[in-house]
Amino acid sequence: MSTIAAISTPVGAGGIGILRVSGEDALKIADAIFVCKKKSAAETLRQNPLKLCFGDFIAEDFRDRGYAVYFPADKAYTGEETTEFYLHGGVRIMQGALAAAVAAGARMAERGEFTKRAFLAGRMSLADAEGVADMINAESAAGLRAAYRLMDGSVAKRINVIADRLLEVMTGLEAVLDYPEETEDEVLPPLGGELEGLLSEVDSLISTARRGRIAKHGITAVLAGRPNAGKSSLMNALLGEDRAIVTAVAGTTRDTVEGSFECDGVRVNLIDTAGLRQSNDVVESMGISRAVQAARNADVVLLVTDTTREDDGEYDFGGVRVFRIRNKCDLTSYACPRMRDCFAVSAKEGVNVEQLRHAIAALYKEGEVAGEELITSERHVSALYRAKSALKSAIEAIDGTVDCVLVDLREAYEALGEITGRTATESIVDNIFSKFCVGK
């Protein structure tokens, strides 16, 4: 494999910029682009692994002063010899530094190529690698905590326990096929309990998917209700900024307006929609149908009503959880009945807005089990469902032949292996790393 190079820090001016070089020529390239005081860069770095070595970076048309460090293959992220250069973080400096590494024989790294090499070298599972990308992209504390458990191998470990057990069962059954000393009636029935146990393990992982999705992408809360109920005002109050346009003319919010905030470590994505009412205006009507659509895809609908007016009607949000918000409570003495999911607020005066923020964020806590690993990725969820249905078929096939059970167990094993990478195809692997950033 060729030696690759990339700038690992974001483009822009910053205190430090990092150039990373990985592959068998890492030291040779360091020698061409870095000079240390007493000995050659290659010698200095090799003799001081994992230590910062001070020196000058030599680009084609300038020098910078900084540090270089050498990671021997067994200590490097990629599992192959790596050198890193810590320079001043200027755009032009880093461009020149990368160009110097390329001129010295490196190839520019593709997206996620360092992590891909780490995966191919067996230093991490595919799920761990996805955890690295999730760490970088996380937008909330909950997202970071879930990503960390993916990155540190906790999720892969749970999957592997199931997969290893499946492998043992499969090996046992294959032996029965090869040396039929025992009959199918003897070996199959006792497996029932074991397979049920594995199925419930898969199920318990699947049951974390709702929270996993929220950890990664946030809670989607849609503001709905009659025009002028105060949806846009509430949106701004929840966001703490003037995001939506607020006017006294009914029908101002014709399309959806979005914004997000973090509360108690959870990201909340707010969508303000067009008011729910009959309209002859084509654009407004489109906005209204979008509003209903958005509400049906949400985690929670904030159904805003004006307490000074008659509450007029029920809406069908397709079973989505609804928080009833009685807005403009500053104008009346109305207090919300002490009902679950019912809130009296004043968007204008900020009354109870903070409580509402916490109540929305608390939806994440529902169904929480201490210390659990969360399944955060669609890819993992769909693989788990495939494993589940294959395991179910295997259990049903226990009355039949060893062959039939084996086919189902192999399918379950393959599905689980796609998550950790044991059985992932090249195209799955390529697709995952193509979504990484360059330099990681």
- CB 395 to ligand GDP: min, Å: 53
252 touching ligand GDP, by CB under 6 A: yes
Contacts with 223 (C-beta within 8 Å, 6 or more apart), sequence order: 231, 232, 234, 235, 270, 271, 272, 273, 302, 304
Please give the backbone phi and psi of residue 50, each rounded to the nearest 5 degrees, phi first. Answer: 65, 15
Q: Which of 228, 305, 377, 420 binds ligand GDP (CB under 6 A)?
A: 228
Per-residue interface string for the shown chain with ligand GDP, residues 116-155, x marking contact by CB under 6 A: ----------------------------------------
Nearer to ligand GDP, 23 or 275 (CB): 275
- CB 292 to ligand GDP: min, Å: 15
User: Quick check: helix, strand or coil at residue 121?
Assistant: coil
301 touching ligand GDP, by CB under 6 A: no
Q: Of all residues in this chain, which one has the CB nearest to ligand GDP in the complex?
A: 230
With 0-12 / 13-18 / 19 or more C-beta atoms within 10 angstroms meaning exposed / middle / buried, residue 300 is: buried
279 touching ligand GDP, by CB under 6 A: no
246 touching ligand GDP, by CB under 6 A: yes
287 touching ligand GDP, by CB under 6 A: no
Per-residue interface string for the shown chain with ligand GDP, residues 346-385, x marking contact by CB under 6 A: xxx-------------------------------------
Size of the site for ligand GDP (CB under 6 A): 20
Options 185-193, 221-229, 292-300, 388-396: segment touching ligand GDP (CB under 6 A): 221-229
233 touching ligand GDP, by CB under 6 A: yes
DSSP characters for 389-413?
A: HHHHHHHHGGGS-HHHHHHHHHHHH
Q: Which of 230, 287, 417, 439 binds ligand GDP (CB under 6 A)?
A: 230
Give the strand order in the sheet containing 14-22: 34-35, 53-58, 63-71, 82-89, 14-22, 4-7, 107-108
Burial 320-354 (b: 16+ CB within 10 A, else e): bebbbbbbbbeeeeeebeeeeeebbbbbbeebbbe
Task: For residues 17 and 20, give the distance between their C-alpha atoms in angstroms, rounded to a whole number.
Answer: 10
Options 135-143, 210-218, 324-332, 420-428: segment touching ligand GDP (CB under 6 A): 324-332
Query: Count of residues for the chain?
Result: 440
In DSSP terms, 259 is beta-bridged to: 270
Q: Which residues of the chain form contacts with ligand GDP (CB under 6 A)?
A: 227-233, 246-248, 252-253, 275, 327-328, 330-331, 346-348
